Structure 1
Amino acid sequence: MKAVVHVMLKPGVLDPQGEAVRHALGALGFGGVEGVRQGKVIELDLADGDTAEAEAQVRRMCEKLLANTVIESYRIEIA
């Protein structure tokens, strides 16, 4: 089974990478982009098993390593 974790900075946390991308897009002629938030996507290949247990395990992974929960939020998809 596959788990996909989407990690983004929480609202209100400054995003210098997102701002650099917004600026670069403007310099390339892509007008109208008022804001960019940069995040990351992590794909995990998990052994087949109980979906609920897999989600709980991935949540523990996020809390311990994959996301800095002070400044980042995350969303988990189990497929």
Structure 2
Amino acid sequence: MKARIHVTLKNGVLDPQGAAVRHSLGALGFDGVEKVRQGKIIEMELTETDAGKAEEQVKAMCEKLLANTVIEDYAVEIL
């Protein structure tokens, strides 16, 4: 079973990488971009065959390692 995790900064947390991307896009002539927030996607293959258990496991992984839950949100997709 495959899982995809989207990790993004929480609203209100400064995103200097997003700001740098927005600035660079403007410098390249892509006007009209007002805000950029960047994050990461993690994909993994799991041996678990039950979707509910897989989601539970991946959420535990996010809480313990994959996301800094103080400043980041995460969303889990089981594919």
TM range (shorter): over 0.9
CA RMSD of superposed structures (Å): 0.6
Q: Residues 28-67 of structure 1: matches in 2 within 5 Å?
A: 28-67=28-67
TM-score when normalising by structure 1: 0.98
User: Deviations along 1:21-70, whole A, 9 cap, x unmatched?
Assistant: 00000000000000000000000101141110000000000000000000
**Which AA in structure 2 matches 1:43?**
E
**Which AA in structure 1 matches 2:45?**
D
Extract unaligned runs of 5+ from structure 2: none
Q: Match for residue 20 of structure 1?
A: 20
**Which AA in structure 2 matches 1:42?**
I
Identity of aligned residues (%): 70
CA distance in 2, matches of 1:73, 1:20: 21
CA distance in 1, matches of 2:77, 2:49: 15
Extract unaligned runs of 5+ from structure 1: none
Q: Secondary structure at the match of 2:19?
A: helix
Equivalent pairs, count = 79
